[in-house]
Structure 1
Amino acid sequence: MPWILLVVAALMELVWATALKQSEGFTRLWPTVIGVPVCLLSVVVLTLALRDLPVGTAYAVWVGLGSLGVAVTGIVALGESVSPQRLTCLGLILIGVIGLKAIEG
């Protein structure tokens, strides 16, 4: 269950980071209204996962999956640049997350 909570928290990170990008510095209401509460909820769910997972592992996985998700969203939905080097680095993040999961079980 803590790993499921951690993945849910990371998915929320994808939502809030994308929403805050769309808020244009808090100048657009609805992306701000979505982004700020989802950010807080993401931290709350992370905190629940931390009851059973080591903080270093949980935080690294939360940030890693969130970063990976936001980067892929940027590429797919927002037209951000894609290069072999960028994809390689994103792949390394994914390998790190998988490795941490394998180590912590």
Structure 2
Amino acid sequence: MSWIILVVSGLLEAVWATALGRSEGLTQLTPSLVFGGALVASMGGLAYAMRDLPVGTAYAVWVGIGAATTVAWAMLTGAEPVSVVRVLLIAGLIAIVIGLKLTH
């Protein structure tokens, strides 16, 4: 169960990071509220997962999922450029996250 919560928390990291970027320095109400809610839920899920998982592994997986999802979403929406190299690097990041899960 901890792994599922950790993955969801990593996805929520991408939500809060994207919302923070759209909040224009927390001056826009809706993105600021989404940022706050997703941040609390993401951190809460990470904290829950760390009850069963080692801190280093949990944090690395959480950050990896969040980073990969954030940049993938930005590329899909046209906010960031898409290139073969960037896609391969994201795939490598995902492979590392999977590797951490498999070696735990």
Name the TM-score class by shorter chain. Answer: over 0.9
Q: Deviations over 1:24-72 (max 9, x none)?
A: 1112111001102211221111000000001111000000000000011
Aligned residue runs from structure 1 range 24-63, under 5 A: 24-63=24-63
Q: Which amino acid counterpart does residue 8 of structure 1 have in structure 2?
A: V
Q: Kindly state the Cα deviation for residue 73 of structure 1 after the two structures are TM-superposed.
A: 0.5
User: Which residue does 1:6 correspond to in 2?
Assistant: 6
- Cα distance in 1 for residues equivalent to 2:51 and 2:74: 32
- Cα distance in 2 for residues equivalent to 1:87 and 1:69: 11
- Cα distance in 1 for residues equivalent to 2:101 and 2:12: 19
Stretches of 4+ moved more than 2 A in 1?
Answer: none
Alpha-carbon RMSD: 1.0
Q: Kindly state the Cα deviation for residue 20 of structure 1 after the two structures are TM-superposed.
A: 0.9
- Cα distance in 1 for residues equivalent to 2:41 and 2:78: 24
Q: Which amino acid counterpart does residue 6 of structure 1 have in structure 2?
A: L
User: How many residue pairs are counted as aligned between the two chains?
Assistant: 104
Structure 1, 72-81 or 3-12: larger mean CA deviation: 72-81
Report SS of the residue matched to 1:51: coil
- Cα distance in 1 for residues equivalent to 2:54 and 2:68: 21
Point out where structure 2 has 5 or more consecutive residues left out of the alignment: none
Identity, in percent, stands at: 45
TM-score (norm 2): 0.95
